[in-house]
Amino acid sequence: MKKTPFRLTAYQVQWLLIVGFVTVGYALYLRYLAIELSTVALACDAGLQTMLCKTRLLATYLFRNSVFGVVALIIATLHVIRPSIVLLTGGLIAAGFGIVLYNIGLSGIAIGLLILGFARPAPATA
């Protein structure tokens, strides 16, 4: 029995485009308007308890420990083994955050593995 390669439908491509743009857009917002903006950084470090400061604290903790890159790499490896739209979406989200929020090395490898997942055959359906 011949397996066909993993291919996306038009709706899945549109879904991935929306998810990718929203993820990278929010990551850019966090980086340039919450993490690197000095007025926000000084206010948050002084003890301001807003949702933006809590999100800033969480994001800095995650990228300092390379969580975005490691999660993206794990999901991308699973996607190469068993390609699916769910894994592709999760990997795209984690890699998008990782590329923008300072986990460039691991997230770049993960994006390469996500692309490599299209060369593998899709799982056989009964």
C-beta separation of 69 from 107 below 8 A: yes
Q: Which pTM was predicted?
A: 0.86
- Chain position carrying tokens 């989200």: 93
Other Cβ atoms within 10 Å of 118 Cβ, number = 15
Q: Three-state DSSP class for 121?
A: strand
CB contact at 8 A, 60 and 85: no
Q: Please, which residues have CB within 8 angstroms of residue 61's CB and are 6 or more apart in sequence? A: none
Phi-psi category of 47—alpha, beta or left, where left has phi over 0 and alpha has psi -120 to 50? Answer: left
pLDDT in tens, the chain (126 residues): 566 677 889 999 999 999 999 999 999 999 999 999 999 999 999 999 999 999 999 999 999 999 999 999 999 999 998 889 999 999 999 999 999 999 999 999 999 999 998 885 556 665
Strand partners, 78: none
Q: List the domain boundaries for the chain.
A: 11-119
